[in-house]
Chains A and B, each alone.
Chain A
C-alpha cells in the first residue's frame, strides 16, 4: 500500500509526474469531501460517544475490583477473567446462553418464514392475521413475561390445562432447569416472531415475480421453486435477521427477570446478560460484571465477523 509505493520509489526508476487534475475536478472533489464529512462526522461522534466510549470504559473496568456503590475501583489485572473462565457456574451460564440463543434464532426465523410464506398469499382475513402476528413484538418484554407466567403455571396455566385434556401431566416448568429454559425460550420466540415475520414478508413481496412465473412454466415443484428461486432471493433478509435476532437474543433480560429471575436452582435460566446484571447489581461486583460483558462482546464480535464473511462469500458466488 502506501509504504510499498514509497519503497518502490526508492529502488526503482523515478515515476513520471502525474498530471495535476484540472482545477474544477479538484474543487468538485473538495466539495464532495466536505459533504461526506458533514454527513459522517455527526454520526461518527455519536458512535464514538455512545458506543465506543462505553465499550472502552467497560473493558477498562473489567480489569478492576469495583463495588458499584463505591467511587473507586482497584486494578486487579486478569483476576476477573481467570475467575470467569475457571468457574463452573460461568460454564453453565455460557451453555444456557448458547442453547437459548440458538433455539431463539432458529425457532423465530423458521416460524417467521413459515408464517410469511403462508400470509404472502391471498387469504381471507390476511391483513388482520398479519397484524396479530406482529402485535406481540411491540408489547414490553416484562409484560409478556408476566402473562406467560400464567400460561406455563403448572397448577392453573393454559399449558397444564391443554395437556390435562389429553391425560398428560404438566412439566415442572419452574422447578426443572431444562423445562424452565424451554419455557423462557418459547416465550421469547412468541414475542419476537412478529419481527422475523415482517422482515421475511417484506423480502417475499420484493422478490422478482418473473422468476417465479418462469419456474411455474417449467413445471417446477413447490419445493424446488422455494429452494431454487425464492430462498436465494431471501438471503439478504436472512443474513440481516441472523445478525439482529442473534444480537437481540443474546441480550434478553426482561423475560428471564420476570419469569424465573435466572432460576431455578440458582442459574437454571441465567444467561450472560442476566449474569452481568446479577454480578453488577445483586452481588455488587461491577468489575466482574464488566468482565462478563466484555467476554460477551468478544463472542459476538467473532460471531458477527464470521457471519459477514460467510455472507460476502455467498454474494461472490
Chain B
C-alpha cells in the first residue's frame, strides 16, 4: 500500500480511536451465574453492599461486628456508592459478570427491576426455611417489596415525608403550634404566613429533580387521585388533575415555592414550612437556628407515602450463601438493631414492637419530632406503581410536575402526556415480562 493510500486509512483509524474513547464505558451483557449452586461448606464470610444511608457507616460497622460475634460469620462491608442509584449501577455491573454481593441495599425505586429480571431472590421460602417472623415487620413497609405474591426484600432504612415548620414564623402569623390538617387549611394559612413574614415563602418543596414526585404522591391521594391503580395509569382522572391544579395554584399564588435546595432555603429561614424526608430530621434540627416543629403531612389520610430502602439477596449466589445472607438481614432488622439504627440515623424502625422497646421511650421523650415521624407510619401507604415500579417513573413524573409549576404549563395537557408516556413504558418494558 502506498503512503497516499495509507493516509486515509490511518486518519480514519486514528479518528475512530479518538471518538471511540467516548464509548469505552459502555460494556456488554454477561452473567455472574451461580444460581442455586451449592457452596463449599459452611459460609464463613459475607459481603454487604451499602451506601450507608443516613450516614450510617459507623452504626452499620458496629452491628456487623455484633453479628460476627454472635454467628462467627465475618461480614465485608462495601461502600457501593453514595446513593441508592449508584449501588444499583454497581449491582448491574456485577450482574454482567462481576462478583456479586450477598446482601445489597435496594431502594423503593430500584428493587422492582431487579425482581423483574430475576436478579434478586424471592424471600418467602427462605423466610419459612429460616424461621423468620415476617409478620413482625411493619406491614406497609414489608408489603412495599411484594410483587405477584412474593417479597423481594426486607425493610431496612425506611423513611417517609414529614411536614417541618418554623415555629417562630408560625407564631408570628398567629397560627396554632401544629401542621395544617388538610390542604384546604394550608391554603387558608399560607397568606397569613406570607403577610406576617415578609419576603419568605410560606412553604418550599424540592423540585422535580429532587423527588417532588414523592412529596406530591401524598397530596394526590388526599384529593382522591393517584398516579396509577396498579398498572392502570390514572394521571388523567379528575381527582389527579384537581391535585395538580391545586399545586399549580399554590405555586402561582406564591404559597408554595419549588427549589433545587429546599432544605437550605428552609434552614436559612427563607421559608416557613418544608416537606422533606424523615431522614433529614437530624440534619435540619441540628443546622437550623430556630425551633422546628414537625407534623403529619396534610390529610385526609392516607396523605403520606413510604420510601427509603430495603435489603435484598442476589438470585445468582449459592443456596448456602442465601441462607446466611437472610440470617444477616434478620439480624440487622431485628427489634434491638432497628432501634439502634433508627436512633443513629433518623430512619423509621421497621419492626412493629420497636415502639415498645425500652430504649425507645427515653429517646422519643427527648426527640418529640421523631415521635411525630414514628406515629405517622400508621397512616402511610405504599406508593403507586407508576412512580416506583415503572422504569424512570420518578424522574418522568418529577419533570411533569416541574412543567406545571416552574413551567406554568396546562395541567391536563401535561398529565395527559404523562399518562401516555407511562402507558408506553409499561407496554414496552414491563407487560411483556409479566
A-to-B contact residues, CB < 8 Å: 1-2, 47, 50-52, 54-55, 57-58, 60-61, 66-73, 149, 153, 155-156, 172, 174-175, 243, 247, 250-251, 260-267, 273, 276, 278, 280-285, 289-290, 293-294, 296-298, 300-301, 304-305, 308-309
Contact = CB atoms under 8 A, between A and B. Distances in A.
Contacts of B29: 61, 66, 70-73
Given A156-B268, A284-B429, A309-B11, 12 more contacts: A1-B5, A52-B16, A52-B20, A54-B27, A68-B96, A174-B260, A175-B406, A266-B402, A266-B403, A281-B88, A281-B92, A297-B22
A293 B20 CA distance: 10
A115 to B, nearest CB: 26
A2 B391 contact: no
B21 A247 contact: yes
B24 interface: yes
A281 to B, nearest CB: 5
Contacts, number: 170
Interface in B388-405: 391-392, 395-396, 398-400, 402-403
B28 interface: yes
10 contacts: A1-B5, A47-B17, A54-B25, A67-B117, A69-B114, A175-B406, A265-B399, A266-B208, A266-B400, A309-B11
Contacts of A58: 23, 26, 28
A54 B209 CA distance: 31
B76 to A, nearest CB: 23
B241 to A, nearest CB: 19
A202 to B, nearest CB: 21
Contacts of B11: 305, 308-309
Contacts of B88: 281
Contact of A251 (B14, B22, B259, B398): B22
Contacts of A283: 391-392, 425, 429
Q: Which secondary structure characterizes the binding site on chain B?
A: helix
Given A281-B89, A281-B92, A50 B260 contact: no
Given A174-B207, A278-B392, A293 B23 contact: yes
B4 to A, nearest CB: 10
B1 interface: yes
B22 A293 contact: yes
B23 A282 contact: no
Contacts of B31: 71
Interface of B: 1-2, 5, 11-12, 14-31, 33, 85, 88-89, 91-92, 95-96, 113-114, 116-117, 119, 207-210, 258-261, 264-265, 268, 270, 391-392, 395-396, 398-400, 402-403, 406-407, 425, 429, 433
A230 B21 CA distance: 32
A284 B209 contact: no
Contacts of B18: 243, 247, 300, 304
Contact of B391 (A156, A174, A282): A282
Given A69-B117, A71-B31, A156-B268, A265 B402 contact: yes
Contacts of A172: 406
A290 B26 contact: yes
Most chain A C-beta atoms within 10 Å of own C-beta, residue among B2, B5, B209, B429: B209
